[in-house]
Amino acid sequence: MHNPASDVDIELRMLIEAVYLKYNYDFRDYTGASQKRRILAALRTMECDTISALQARVMHDPAAFTQLLQFLTIPVTEMFRDPDYYLAIRRLVVPFLKTYPSLNVWVAGCSTGEEVYSLAILLHEEGLLERTQMYATDINPDALEAARRGVMPLDKMRVYTENYQKAGGMRAFSDYYTAAYGGALFDRALVDNVTFADHSLATDSVFAETHFISCRNVMIYFNRHLQNRVLGLFHDSLCHRGFLGLGSKESIDFSTYAQRFEPLARRERLFRKVAP
């Protein structure tokens, strides 16, 4: 027997559909439990009694949608997060990247830029940054603007320094930033060759051939259908034998594309494209 959906679930589905129709942001294939938690948090902050009231507000006030978007795309990130991932890139991916005369690197779901600057530092230390074009994409314009600015909280620098050192950092981490604007302003030269751009993994298509894609802790919020779409997008974007890095809780094992990538470092979630 089919269990009827609760009022909250019905309202939630209607809100997500309205957001798609009105603003062309597609959250329909995001996992339900996480999405519900975020919307209920938005209700409290935005002082709406019901999801229907929130929907009415979002439909008629673009500023309210921008506020809601911050809840739908909560960034949970830090520089050199999971240092072993970056160590594995240095040891296993960089030697291959050094064989190319020029490189395209895509950080998908870049949020507020912590991973972009981490990879830029790594590429700089490996002598690759000047020949690399990096694409940093996200659907949240506020997050992209923060990434462009490159100002991180000063109180995070101790943790970021420890991560950097564990990730095989070759210099003093403080060489890369100066205290400014009440935060840590990162060296602008790190992002000279970075294009920050709006791109939706749910609706947009491939825009460049890439040698390495890093998309970490993004797909955990997607259902199986959307995960397959995204892995297809990455597969099509990667050059022959290109590299893909995922988050620590993400896997391609049960996806449609499981046979099209081989594990390079399974524990660190680094894969290599094997099929055309």
User: pLDDT (tens digit, 9 = 90+) per residue, 179-225?
Assistant: 987 899 999 999 999 999 999 999 999 989 999 999 999 998 899 99
Q: Is the dihedral of CA 122, 127, 130, 133 positive or negative?
A: negative
pLDDT in tens, 249-270: 898 988 999 999 999 999 999 9
Q: How confident is the model at residue 76 (pLDDT cuts 50, 70, 90)?
A: confident
Residue appearing with tokens 């439990």: 33
Q: Of all residues in the chain, what percent carry a pLDDT higher than 90?
A: 88
* Mean pLDDT taken over the chain: 94
- Amino acid 58: pLDDT: 96
Question: ∠ CA 121-137-32 to the nearest 5 degrees?
Answer: 120
- Amino acid 181: pLDDT: 79
Closest C-alpha among 220, 199, 255 to residue 25: 199
- Amino acid 2: pLDDT: 55
**What gap in Å lies between CA 49 and CA 47, rounded to an integer?**
7
The contacts of residue 22 (CB under 8 Å, 6+ apart) are 58, 59, 65
Q: Which amino acid is at 119?
A: L
- Amino acid 203: pLDDT: 94
Phi, psi of 174 (to 5 degrees): -65, -15
- Beta strand segments in the chain, E: 103-108, 132-138, 151-152, 177-180, 183-186, 194-198, 210-215, 238-246, 261-265, 270-273
- Amino acid 3: pLDDT: 64
Low-confidence winner among 2-11, 31-40, 150-159, 225-234 (lowest mean pLDDT): 2-11
